[in-house]
Amino acid sequence: MSMYGGSGGGRTRMGTKVYLNIYDLSPANDCLYPVGFGLHHSGVEIMGSEYSYASGGGIFEGTPREAPGARFREQIELGTFEGGSSELRVKLDDLRSSFGPSDYNLIQKNCNHFANALVWALMRRPIPPHVNRLADVANCFSCLIPRSILDESPVGPNAGRSSSGGDNSSAGFQVFKADSRSANDGGGPTAPTAAFIGRGSRLGGGSTDTTSTTSTANGSTASSSGGGIFGFGGGTAGSRGSKATKEDDLTDRREKARQAALARLERNAN
């Protein structure tokens, strides 16, 4: 009887053993793990293979307990699967429609969500809650997290190819960054994207201007109108001169009013 998911695949007379392999993605896990948190990658090991999920690659198969870019922490035995390889393939195929290559989200549909779905399909039980607890909490603040971060998986498949084009299935995993959403695969400068659109008063005048600040490829910003960023700071020399004339007129009117008031007081005194 095999007690480990090695060459025997964890097969026993009562079924096939299922393991959850948990990895650390951050050194901070040494402090977070004792209190039930952590940034984890996970994969389901069964029949000598490990199954996981990543952006761009979807559901993939890899070498158990090997994830470059992540540190293996522990293996948890979850139970036994009462089925064979054909039944396992059916379960995996059923999950592909929900866990497609472009469906990945770091906090809403990550490798731990897939592991939980696969284990539930195999044995009708969930994975330990601490594995994905940090993502569950972060989901409450998803609007504050950049989309570029949410769409990338820290661990993923290398498609079984080496740099020379040959087969390299023993590599198992590599750090993987999705490129399906890149705006420009040719390496050229990316198109400017709007960073701000709004209305504001131009200094020295009462009119409002609509401005749009864009980010360019070299990180600089540009404004699409003379009103300046957020609609301010775009006054011209002519507008500043007009403002000075208006201030002089106001001063003259105040002085004339003060003199008229003094004249009335003198008349009333006499």
Q: Please give the Cα distance from 150 to 104 (Å, whole number).
A: 8
Of the residues 40, 111, 113, 140, which is catalytic?
A: 111
- Residue 41 is a catalytic residue: yes
Residues 6+ apart with CB under 8 A from 216: 189, 192, 222
- Residue 31 is a catalytic residue: no
Both structure tokens of 67: 């994830």
Q: Which of 69, 72, 75 is nearest to 44 (CA)?
A: 75
Of the residues 31, 40, 41, 140, which is catalytic?
A: 41
* Backbone angles phi and psi of 202, in degrees to 5: -80, 140
* Backbone angles phi and psi of 124, in degrees to 5: 60, 45
Q: Please give the Cα distance from 2 to 178 (Å, whole number).
A: 38
User: What are the C-alpha distances in Å from 251 to residues 248, 260, 261?
Assistant: 5, 14, 16
Report the length, in residues, of the chain: 270
Residues known to be catalytic: 41, 111
